[in-house]
A and B are shown apart, each in its own frame.
Chain A
Amino acid sequence: MADIVEAKGLVKRYGKVVALDGLDLTVPQGTVLGLLGPNGAGKTTLVSILATLLQPDEGTANVAGFDVCNDPEEVRKRIGLSGQFAAVDEHLTGFENLDMVGRLYRKGRKASRDRARELLEVFDLAEAGDRTAKTYSGGMRRRLDLAGALVAEPPVLFLDEPTSGLDPRSRTGLWGVIRDLVARGTTLLLTTQYLEEADQLADDVVVIDHGHAIAHGTPAELKTSVGGERIEVTVRETGDLPSAQTILTGFASGEISIDEQRGTLIAPIAGGVPTLTKALHEFEASKIDLFDVGLRRPTLDDVFLTLTGHVAEEAVSEEADGQKSEEMAG
């Protein structure tokens, strides 16, 4: 498949801070690329360059066949952008927001209105469509912002941390919407701080840190590289450790590590909750008294720890990423 997004050697500096440090990236048409990294890693800067909002200091980027620096107008006709920071006008209603965007895409009056109503329906905002966006919850604003990015049905979509700051229910809902879009052939570049989100949505993942790509692979490959999911069991009596180990050996997909002092066993497994349930039945049958038990999935921190040897730290806030994440937190 042809690459619909292609970036080569992108460099962007803000004063002394290097936000992007020679980043290369490709997204084949019709696929989803997850860009995973902590705050300040350069994710927003990259998306901004691809969406023609910023000019790179060095390097080139092509989106949908056009150079972002030389033909920004052509690029803009073919992309949709939704930021981590919902860019909706709170004094306009949901409908007015979308209609305005439609008119700015040169849709006629009727086509623009019809599209606005259609999108409100799709994003479950039909009832709230004639209320001002000021009255919307965080999740509703995000959906409206995403709807705004889809007004012109762009072939390429950039979503910058679409779910950060959302509660789990809104997050799951938004994932469903994004999956539908992708199923209809949209190419998506998605930035996220959550490994789980990349796992849910992306075909490929690029991990970035301090403006560099430090790893590239499918979510499964990444998870394998950091050890995948595991069961953590703490027994009440350390005397039970050997028999507990025997039970876990039956489920483990790799070496079991033992912390004798805490009475904790960590076993890499496959199969998630069903495997955990089976293991718990055996513990019960063997009358082993457990103090604590849990299923752990690798997080961004684990990925970083494995890839870089350090945990994902908040980088010295680069202008774009830093400002926005602070406001999100506020």
Chain B
Amino acid sequence: MNSLAVAFADTTVIAKRNLIKIKRVPEILVFVLLSPIMFVLLFAFVFGNAIDIRGLNYREFLIAGVFTQTVMFGATFTAAGLAEDMQKGIISRFRALPMSRAAVLAGRTVSDIAYNLLSLVIMALTGLAVGWTIRTSFGEAIAGFALLLLFSYAISWVMASIGLAVPSVEVVNNAVFMVLFPLTFLANTFVPSNDLPGGLREFAEWSPVSTVTQAVRELFGNVPANAPEPPSWALDHAILYTLIWIAVIIAIFAPLSVRQYKRLQRA
């Protein structure tokens, strides 16, 4: 077998192993699925009446933002899973096997797509129940979900790098929260970015978190009819700009985390 075929085969074995855990510890799913439901309901009913989006129902505007936030936090599973495997010594076993050096990480990022897919389905159903509508074609809607999953996949590689660098699962959760929370709020996720003060506004207009949200809104047809022209090139070409970010993140963090894996200093 050539090395690519080996990497693919090993990745499949590891991804399967990770997915078995979902089956064996279904309690994990409760949290994966409850938090997006909670976010949809809290924002829809608490902020929904206070935030006014000209020309659009806030709940319709909100859903794409919650989708983006949830898949970003969902990617945290990659870091937590790797940190746990390291703590338990399983990574050492894998590293002593003649298997692909990328497979443990690739298997983890791939299996975490399953978590995110599941939470997207739950969120979409909750959203539909509180007044969200898809106003475009079936194909565009699928493209919207696919873009969210791709984006979360890229974030997973960042998380892989973090998971290999920190000493324990608890540290992962704190570290990740510190970074992701501001990122998901400094964007057009929950309020339109043109309402933000200067400085933050420019940041939000170029943030990939904003553009993936904007792209998804376009693909679901949730952009206000009389919305002003997008204020940045990034938001104007949201899908393209997001795809570029996805490619760049993977191109940097996939090789970086494989390098970290090879050079782990823990026995």
Interface residues of A (CB under 8 A from B): 14, 44-45, 47-48, 51-55, 73, 76-77, 79, 81, 83, 85-92, 96, 100-101, 103-106, 132, 145, 148, 319-320, 323-324
Asked if B98 contacts A53 (CB within 8 A), the reply is no
Contact check: which of A52, A54, A100, A148 meets B265 at CB < 8 Å? A54
**Contact across chains for B89 and A52 when beta carbons are under 8 A apart:** no
Can you list 29 A-B contacts (CB < 8 A)?
Answer: A52-B95, A53-B96, A54-B267, A55-B263, A76-B98, A81-B93, A85-B88, A87-B88, A87-B90, A87-B92, A89-B17, A89-B90, A91-B20, A91-B21, A92-B24, A96-B17, A100-B13, A100-B17, A103-B13, A104-B13, A104-B94, A104-B98, A104-B103, A106-B1, A106-B9, A319-B266, A319-B267, A320-B267, A324-B267
B264: which of A53, A85, A86, A103 is its contact (CB, 8 Å)? A53
* Contact indicator A104/B99 (Cβ below 8 Å): yes
Q: How far is the CA of A324 from the CA of B267 in the complex (A)?
A: 9
Contact A148 B98 (CB under 8 A): no
Q: Answer yes or no: B97 CB below 8 A from chain A CBs.
A: yes
Interface check B218, CB cutoff 8 A = no
CB distance from B194 to the nearest CB of A (A): 47
C-alpha spacing A310/B127, complex, angstroms: 70
| Chain A CB within 8 A of B46 CB | no
Chain B contacts of A52 at CB under 8 A?
95-96
A86 touches B89 (CB 8 A): yes
CB nearest to B89 among chain A residues: A87
Task: Report A116 CB to chain B, min CB distance, Å.
Answer: 13
Query: Least Cβ distance of A236 to chain B in Å?
Result: 52
Q: How far is the CA of A85 from the CA of B266 in the complex (A)?
A: 13
B residues sitting closer than 8 Å to A (CB atoms) are 1, 6, 9-10, 13, 17, 20-21, 24-25, 88-90, 92-99, 103, 263-267
Question: Is A101 a contact of B97 with CB atoms below 8 Å?
Answer: yes
- For the complex, give the distance between the alpha carbons of A323 and B1 in Å: 38
User: Smallest CB–CB gap between B18 and chain A, Å?
Assistant: 9
Q: Determine the residue in chain A with the shortest Cβ distance to B87.
A: A327
Q: Are B93 and A148 in contact (CB under 8 A)?
A: yes
Number of A-B residue pairs having CB atoms within 8 Å of each other in the complex: 81
Q: Using Cβ atoms and an 8 Å threshold, which residues of chain B touch A323? A: 266
- Find chain B residues with CB under 8 A from A90 CB: 88
Which residue from chain B places its CB closest to the CB of A75 in the assembled complex?
B98
CB distance from B97 to the nearest CB of A (A): 5
Determine if A76 and B267 form an interchain contact, defined as CB atoms under 8 angstroms apart. Answer: no
Q: How far is the CA of A73 from the CA of B96 in the complex (A)?
A: 9
Kindly list chain A residues whose C-beta atoms are within 8 Å of the C-beta of B93: 81, 83, 87, 101, 145, 148
Say which residue of B9, B21, B24, B96 sits within 8 Å of A81 (CB atoms): B96
**B264 to A, closest residue via Cβ:** A53
Q: Which residue of A lies closest to B13 (CB)?
A: A103
A96 to B90, CA, bound (A): 14
- Collect the chain B residues with CB atoms within 8 Å of residue A320's CB: 266-267
Query: Please, which residues of chain A bring their CB within 8 A of the CB of B263?
Result: 55
Cβ–Cβ < 8 Å partners of B90 in chain A: 87-89
Complex: A262 Cα to B68 Cα, angstroms: 78
Taking A53-B92, A106-B9, A319-B266 as known contacts, 15 extra A-B pairs with beta carbons closer than 8 A to each other, sorted by chain A number, are A44-B267, A48-B92, A51-B96, A53-B264, A54-B265, A81-B92, A83-B93, A85-B88, A87-B92, A91-B21, A91-B24, A103-B9, A105-B99, A106-B6, A324-B89
Q: How far is the CB of B94 from chain A (nearest CB, A)?
A: 7
Residues of B within 8 A of A87 (CB): 88-90, 92-93
Give chain A residues whose Cβ lies under 8 Å from the Cβ of B97.
76, 101, 104-105
Nearest CB on A from B8, distance (A): 12
Q: Check if A73 sits within 8 Å of B20, measured CB to CB.
A: no
B267 adjacent to A53 (CB under 8 Å): yes
* Closest chain B CB from A320 CB (angstroms): 4
Q: Are A132 and B24 in contact (CB under 8 A)?
A: yes
Q: Please give the distance in Å from B48's CB to the nearest CB on chain A.
A: 40
Q: How far is the CA of A106 from the CA of B20 in the complex (A)?
A: 20
B103 contacts which chain A residues (CB < 8 A)? 104
Of A47, A76, A89, most buried by chain B (CB within 10 Å of CB) is A89
